[in-house]
Amino acid sequence: MTLNTSSGLLGTSFRSAILAAMATLVCSSVWAQTIDTVNGAEISTDVYNMYLESRIQKPASEATPQERSRYLDELKDIYLLTTQPKADALAKTPRNKAMIELQTRGILAQAVAADFLESNAASDAEILEAYQEQVELAPPLEFKASHILVETQSEAISLISELEGGADFAELAKDKSTGPSGPSGGDLGWFSANQMVAPFSQAVAALENGAFTKTPVQTQFGWHVILRVDSRESTPPTLESVRDVVKQRVEQDKLQKYLQDLRATLSE
């Protein structure tokens, strides 16, 4: 069984990064101080640590002395350029104003979303309920199948004729299939219906074990001749093995509901 999830507005890895950055700021702000000044503009430890972490992709405390020196120089260059007299004028051009506005809004939106998710973490009961819903929606059977993929319908019809004449399916797949499973005799292993495109899944489900399709099956990949090798009842993964995935989905659903409620207030 495959549990479905989507990254939504704020994916797990990105959300973690935002929360970590916010935690760093909260902690460091207590001790924030000016570490350098460029044309009267102060560079605080908060700004420096955030820039440093964005460059080394790890906590600022793990930066080497060489990294600290290198990225402080980079940050000073940014301050140097943005404190030039021309910078004020450029910041007021329509395009740059729009870019600054979008970046500011994007950062704040991410922070608000992260704060919402932190305050509305999925409970154990919610995770269990979502898991059970996914288990109930999962296809009852899994299939083991092989296929031969060719470019034209006529090629597929010819292959079916050979199979009806006693040809070996695996050998035909090795010789004729254009799909990546061809060298292994067309073997696709075990899968659930929702893991394949609809025409393919429907054809497999309609077969008996050991039978192959008597008419070609067309998908966006080409024309298939399919052999259903075996079937079995699907076994759902344990809750603990997919807990993080389910938790993310529950929290993303909460965030989407929050956004829907906010959108509704616009039309009131």
Mean pLDDT, residues 191-199: 93
Q: What is the pLDDT of residue 139?
A: 83
Q: What is the pLDDT of residue 31?
A: 59
Mean pLDDT, residues 69-82: 97
The span from the CA of 240 to the CA of 258, in Å, is: 27
Long-range contacts of 38-43, Cβ-Cβ distance < 8 Å, separation of 24 or more? 38/76, 38/79, 38/80, 38/83, 39/79, 39/80, 39/83, 40/83, 41/79, 41/82, 41/83, 43/72, 43/75, 43/76, 43/79
Please give the model's pTM, rounded to 2 decimal places: 0.60
The span from the CA of 181 to the CA of 184, in Å, is: 5
The span from the CA of 95 to the CA of 158, in Å, is: 61
Whether 209 has a pLDDT exceeding 70, the answer reads yes
**3-state DSSP assignment of residue 219:** strand
Mean pLDDT, residues 111-136: 95
Whether 262 has a pLDDT exceeding 80, the answer reads yes
The lowest-confidence range among 125-129, 137-141, 206-210, 235-239 is: 137-141
Give, in order, the Cα–Cα distances in Å from 7 to each of 1, 56, 115, 217, 254.
Answer: 19, 25, 17, 33, 13
Residue carrying the six token digits 């019809």: 157
Whether 1 has a pLDDT exceeding 60, the answer reads no
Mean pLDDT, residues 79-85: 96
Q: How confident is the model over 164-186, as pLDDT tens digits?
A: 999 999 999 999 999 999 999 99
Provide the residue type at 152 as one letter.
T
Q: What is the pLDDT of residue 10?
A: 45
Q: How confident is the model over 6-45, as pLDDT tens digits?
A: 444 444 444 444 444 444 444 444 557 999 999 999 999 9
Q: Are 250 and 133 in contact (CB under 8 A)?
A: no
The span from the CA of 244 to the CA of 170, in Å, is: 39
Mean pLDDT of the chain: 90
